Amino acid sequence: MPAGLDVLTLALLAVFGLAGGIGITAVGPGGVLPTIGMFLLTGLAPPVVAGTAIATHVVTGVLGTAAYTRSGQLKDPATRRVAVLLAAAALVATPLGVLLNTRVSGREFGSLLACAVALTGVLVLLRERRQGPGRAPATLPATRTVAMGASVAVAAGLFGLGGPLLCVPLLVVCGTPVLAALGAAQAQSVVIAGTGTVVYALNGSVDWALAAVVGVPELIGVVIGWRIAHAVPAGRLRYALIGALLLMAPYLALHG
């Protein structure tokens, strides 16, 4: 079995993957769930947790990008511009996050992950209050977009995330429509996950069997989440996610 884990643990990790995939395309901050699951349930070292988690986001990022291209968001020139700038920043900044991961202990990783999870909960809450029907899209300056993309990529490389976790709330808080933010973040996640996976794999920090256990349900969740984002009012789901993230943050800090 992957990493010597029992059947129940693998089933729980698959559930984390499914929930993460739904969150990635429905609300953005879902990609942290596979990282949380592996950190809490496997006892793996931080580089293996992050490397295995980020590997699951390669195909989910491609699928999410294809989905938001099909639904039109990534065909819009303004959204494509944001996506390209975010992706370019990620190509440079993601390896820095991977490097930082190799410098932290398990306790430090847990504490930093707890901070990222709590920050995400706050950002999603701010997003809920900032977004509204009929609000005109904002045009982000290129420098701000690149700085945002680099910051997100460093965090994603450190924790093994795809990018939408922080990128979607940040974009919406800055005035980007939700679906456009989701589409741009999916495109960035392909670069983050691809670059991060290569660097972690070169260091021997990817458990490919475990990545499959988490990643296959995650792919299914990506399709479900995309449908939710377009067909179902997701306010309740977002508030549930906010509550779960804020409640989980102190446990992650203590568990580390």
- Spatial contact of 225 and 21, defined as CB atoms under 8 Å apart: yes
pTM over 0.85: no
Q: From CA 223, how far away is CA 211, in angstroms rounded?
A: 18
* Confidence check: pLDDT of 133 > 60: no
pLDDT of residue 136: 44
Q: From CA 20, how far away is CA 224, in angstroms rounded?
A: 11
Residue 170 tokens, joined: 């940040």
pLDDT tens by residue, 159-196: 888 777 788 878 877 878 878 888 899 899 999 999 99
Confidence at 134, pLDDT banded by 50, 70, 90 = very low
pLDDT tens by residue, 7-63: 999 999 999 999 888 877 776 667 788 888 998 899 899 999 999 999 998 988 898
Confidence at 240, pLDDT banded by 50, 70, 90 = low
CB atoms within 10 A of CB 147: 14
pLDDT tens by residue, 208-232: 999 999 999 999 998 888 887 766 6
Amino acid sitting at position 62: V
